[in-house]
Amino acid sequence: EEDGTQAFLYRLAKSELEDEELLDAFYNKVIESYTTGENYLILLLYNNYDVPGKTTDEIEMLDASSSVFSYFQCAICPVDLSKPALSYAPAEQVFKNRERDWVVAMPEVGFMFPAFNDRAADIHHTLYYSKDSEDLHFDLTDKLLGCQAPLSAGLQKEAFQTVVEETLGRDCSFETVRNLHDSLQEIQQQAKDADSPDPVSLDKVTMRNLLEKSGASPEDMHAFDQSFEENAGEKGTLMLSNVCSSRKFEVHTPDVTVTVSPDRTDLVRTQIIDGRECLVIPISDDVQVNGITVKHLTPGADGQKGE
């Protein structure tokens, strides 16, 4: 819109931060939309980046610029008194209280406009940063940037889990969830092998295919669309790294937690024993309990279990 947030940021970038009236308006917008109980500093920086040229076979030429990317960055930094401390005064050869002064800390939030996509300025996106990934300061993104921030890492994980549970319902079995985990690991490995710099994301279509591949029935998938849109957004995407751990496969109960290497989920299965569903994990000769190597039980000659 003519008087919208994108147009305002665009004018600010075009001014190269030289327009005092625009700067004052920007500072006021930050003050109105950023809520905190501490003092803070608003840092603005304008810069130009010479985009390296590329040959026809996609080789970068660092000494040949094809275009110039102009942008500005904003960082909001807490400002607080330094901690009380003793310091040494060489001239007087004494220790004394150090004078406390105001110190600027690392940024809490910040953004860059325009974003840099496909080796060019993208005025339809902004690169946003938050020190606390679970506190994205939605007032700032809504009022100052005029856009809806993506879900935080924690909320993405919760959304993924809710979509899976609501879609599968009573069919949300151990085997189905394990199959889903294995499929996610496969996608992650493919991206790693391709050496892609872009993070892997899961949109609604990808999620649907994953659930169907993992064993969800056509009846289960009736609830998928509504669940995904309510939890992740109609056009939402979930980062794979936020919803699936590449370091472990975890089975958790109120009393026991079992952690398995993500590429050995085949070691864990369920089995009905004495009328109860149990987790069954085969063990090797190398078993340690609290760091102590123990011998596992093997069937004795009389059919009873013995050492």
Bridge partners (DSSP) listed for residue 129 = 110
- 196 φ, ψ (degrees, to nearest 5): -80, 135
Q: How far apart are CA 38 and CA 157, in angstroms?
A: 31
Tell me, what's the pLDDT at 15? 96
The residue type found at 221 is M
- pLDDT at residue number 135: 87
Q: Name which of 145, 81, 68 is nearest 111 in CA terms.
A: 145
- Give pLDDT, residue 48: 94
CA distance 281 to 259: 11
Determine the pLDDT at residue 303.
47
Residue that has been written with the tokens 């889990």 in this structure:
161
DSSP 34: -
Tokens 């050869």: give the residue.
Answer: 93
Distance CA 191, CA 279 (A): 32
Q: Which residues contact 28 (CB under 8 A, 6 or more apart)?
A: none
CA distance readout (Å), 123 to 1, 46, 97, 144: 13, 15, 51, 15
Using CA atoms, how far residue 270 sits from 202, 212, 276, 281, in Å, is 29, 21, 10, 9
Q: So what's the pLDDT on residue 233? A: 86
User: What Rg, from alpha-carbon coordinates, does the chain have?
Assistant: 28
Give SS3 for 165. helix
Q: How many Å apart are CA 34 and CA 294, to the nearest integer?
A: 58
Give the pLDDT score at 56. 66
pLDDT value of position 300: 52
Q: What is the DSSP letter of 200?
A: P
* Listed residue (256, 252, 258, 280) closest to 268, CA to CA: 280
- How far the first Cα of the chain sits from its last, in Å, is 78
Q: Are 46 and 16 in contact (CB under 8 A)?
A: yes
β-strand 60-81 against 102-104: which pairing, if any? antiparallel
Residue type for position 145: L
Give dist(CA 280, CA 295) in Å, integer.
Answer: 18
**CA–CA distance, 199 with 159 (Å, rounded to integer):** 18
Nearest of 78, 77, 79, 74 to residue 22 by alpha carbon: 74
**pLDDT score for 306:** 44
Give residue 296's pLDDT.
64
Angle at 200 between CA 197 and CA 205, to 5 degrees: 145
Write down the pLDDT at residue 205: 93
Q: Give the SS3 label for residue 276.
A: strand
Task: Report residues of the chain scoring pLDDT below 70.
Answer: 55-64, 296-307
Which of 58, 51, 179 lies closest to 120, judged by CA? 51
